[in-house]
Structure 1
Amino acid sequence: MAGHNGSVCLRAAGNRGGALFSAFLAAGHIKRARSIYTKAMVMWLIVAAAVTILGLACLDPLVAGLGGAGELQQGVTDYVKWVLVLAVSYMGECFYASMLRNDNAPRLAMAGTLLSCSLNIFLDVFFIYVLEWKMAGAAHATSLAVTSTVILGLLASLRPQSNLKICRQGGRIQDIVSIIKVGMSNFLTEIDGGIVTFAYNTVLIQIGGANATALIAV
């Protein structure tokens, strides 16, 4: 849930930041577009750091709140811990998917998605069934998969034709306010899925008894 909510937040901010970036780029305001990219990146890193630090500091209460009790506790702890440790990658995947599309590189954005999905499937099989890492293996697989997309995004930004460049242009706090304000509707729409899943799981744990694990898996 924590990783999902953080990714949702950055997806909303990333989409709006990408839209502003694209608008200024189309108008020929290259420095302003790069300034938007820089501000959005800073937001990504700050939110990711906050999620990691606060999440790990409150790991036990967080696991308990997510329903990680009894036989589920260790598995949930293993999964959530690694999602929190690599929160920057989960959020970065959303960030670069939006930014690459708006930097006239939709094929690279699609390549990042395909790379992440394919690697996740392969690593799930390897970590869970070959190495028998169980839930920790699933967390490692997904975390490394999304990290590959972030690496692809960073490499893509180094291309000479890319406008995804760090710009030290300061000021314009309204840009950050605009990214958050306009992205809020997207954020609320995206977070709905996480809240509904959390509610379903909570109810299943309460009524499932000994069958709670199987019900949640289904």
Structure 2
Amino acid sequence: MQREYMEFDVVIVGAGPAGLSAACRLKQKAAEAGKEISVCVVEKGSEVGAHILSGAVFEPRALNELFPDWKELGAPLNTPVKRDDIYVLRNAEAASKIPDFFVPKTMHNEGNYIISLGNLCRWLAQQAENLGVEIYPGFAAQQALFDENGVVRGIITGDLGVDREGKPKEGLYTPGMELRGKYTLFAEGCRGHIGKQLIKRFNLDSEADAQHYGIGLKEIWEIDP
């Protein structure tokens, strides 16, 4: 099948914090070296931040390195953590606070911020576009693109105008586009669609333990009226 294509130096899949930060850093490093590179980010959500689990406690060290002037740039980090406590729930009625000196350092949140991760992604997208990154929301990466040597050379976006079985609808079908890149970065998050394809194709989990991950965990509390 003949597909339309666009060529970039770097193609990034996923407009989450990792993908957008990588895009910004690539453009920054290129500018420091006096070079021009083309970077595009594809995002399956209808807009940047649409598929991000919003609430987060954010540790800003990486942002300090990426944009030291993030406060002046208006980054949506508005609520600093003032205190945090950890309790052991001994039973349905009793709990004990763990003394701070017993709490691991990684579980202390002094200097962190309570944020909307969706808002942070939208802000990062603005900074990326200001640096010249092209962002394409609403385009899901359907499969990786390989050259004749089996090297990843980009992605193919999903076909439009297909039925539930993936068959073209008459008069509505538009084949997905090839986004070709000298380098392709996959920032899909856990259990990414193309990530699973690549793990299988290159046998990346042959000497690894099974993945363990949790995402979107919620807690329901029942209280007296």
TM-score by length of 1: 0.31
Compare the two structures and name the one with the higher helix fraction.
1
TM-score by length of 2: 0.30
Larger radius of gyration: 2
Compare the two structures and name the one with the higher strand fraction.
2
